[in-house]
Amino acid sequence: MKRKVLNKGFVELTGVLGDETSAVTTQHLILTFHVKCPVFVAHQWFRHHGSTFTEVNNIEQEEYYVPSYFQSYNYKNLSEVDSNILHKKMDNFNKWVVNFYNKMINDHSISREQARMILPHSLFTEFYWTVNAKSLMRFLKYKVTDTSKWEMQEYSKVILDMFREKLPSTVETFLIKEFGK
């Protein structure tokens, strides 16, 4: 089960160990997700304990995320004109940095590991995330809400939908307990 998120990202549920009828607790239900997201989203994700992460590749240098709209520090959306200007500037900046990164490697023989330090957090990365259902619910409790960054909310909503498809009774109980739904 694979779902598209943002412009070039995705979440894929690659495995579920256990089921609702045989698991004694939610700690015995294990899920593994394959995720492609911008580095800044991955960094928010990696802060959550109770799960393991395995990065698939370092960074996709040719794929980067530029938001379709921007929020100010007080969570108000900027005007469409301002967002379009920022969008173009970010797009140009990302292209320039990726080009400079490639020149460092190809023209100056700088190692990839050292040249990578200039790459922006808007580039995409991929990882596998293995998490038990209890830790996943704790993660979703904070990440599907409006207090989380918009991009993280988008990934969390997709994960919640996949979780609901695989373990409907568990998710229903979780939603009632945490959100009264």
Structure tokens at 97: 């940095």
Q: What is the pTM of this model?
A: 0.83
Domain residue spans of the chain: 1-64+122-181, 66-120
C-alpha distances (whole Å) from 102 to each of 42, 97, 106, 111, 120 are 23, 9, 6, 11, 14
Domain 1-64+122-181: assigned CATH number: 3.30.1360.170
Per-residue pLDDT at 148 exceeds 90: no
* Each residue's pLDDT tens digit, 72-99: 676 666 777 787 888 899 999 999 999 9
* Each residue's pLDDT tens digit, 11-70: 888 878 776 655 556 667 899 999 999 999 999 999 887 789 988 866 656 788 988 777
